[in-house]
Amino acid sequence: MKILDLVFHVESMGANVENAGGRAANMAVKETRTELRIDLASDVLFDFDSAALLPKARQTLEAAARVVRSRAHGRVRILGYTDAKGSAAYNAVLSQRRARSVKNWFVEKDGLRSIRFETDGFGARDPVAPNTKPDGSDNPNGRRKNRRVEILIAK
């Protein structure tokens, strides 16, 4: 299934798809030969420096759960990430707690008990955007993009 096909598949499952680039309401879905990846923006899921899921996260998590339910046939990895603020040790723990919060929501609130989830936290490793600008000043937009949860579904 190509990304365009997947976007329409996600749309048919009830997600609010904004464009054919794989972006749904605060969720991006990408597919390769070996896996399906769902990227969730952390600012929709959590307050800054928190692993408690926000009430507004429900719609995004429900859309992600529909994809997981329809596509997971084996293990599903949930990976948490933070921005570069704070120590590496603190961010590793926070990112792990965030990944666990998403897993717990899938199992407890959406009933995905038959899925084998694994969680891991990577802190500020593997940023998708720069945390600082070229002049060394803070880059709030880049830090926001780095605070995320990724769901990897093995094919």
Q: Are strands 148-154 and 35-41 parallel, antiparallel or unpaired?
A: antiparallel
pLDDT of residue 155: 87
* Torsion angle in degrees (nearest 10) through CA of 116, 14, 80, 129: 140
* Average pLDDT over every residue of 42-68: 93
pLDDT of residue 26: 84
Task: Concatenate the DSSP letters of all residues of the chain into one string.
Answer: --HHHHHHHHHHTT--B-STTSEETTEEEEE-SSEEEEEEEHHHHB-TT--SBPGGGHHHHHHHHHHHHHH-SSEEEEEE---SSS-HHHHHHHHHHHHHHHHHHHHHTS--TTSEEEEEE-TTSS-SS-SB-TTS-B-HHHHHHHSEEEEEEE-
Q: What is the pLDDT of residues 101-142, one digit of tens each?
A: 999 999 999 999 999 999 999 999 999 999 999 999 999 999
pLDDT of residue 17: 34
pLDDT of residue 108: 95
| 44, pLDDT greater than 60 | yes
User: Is this model's pTM higher than 0.75 or not?
Assistant: yes
pLDDT of residue 125: 96
* Average pLDDT over every residue of 76-81: 97
| 34, pLDDT greater than 50 | yes
* Torsion angle in degrees (nearest 10) through CA of 104, 127, 92, 40: -10
pLDDT of residue 25: 53
- Of residues 97 and 7, more confidence is placed in 97
CATH numbers and ranges of domains, the chain: 3-154 (3.30.1330.60)
Question: By the 8 A CB rule, do 146 and 105 touch?
Answer: no
- CA-CA-CA-CA torsion sign (31, 37, 38, 42): negative
| Assigned token pair, 155 | 């094919």
| 18, pLDDT greater than 90 | no
pLDDT band at 74 (very low <50, low <70, confident <90, very high): confident
Share above pLDDT 70 across residues of the chain, in percent, rounded to a whole number: 84
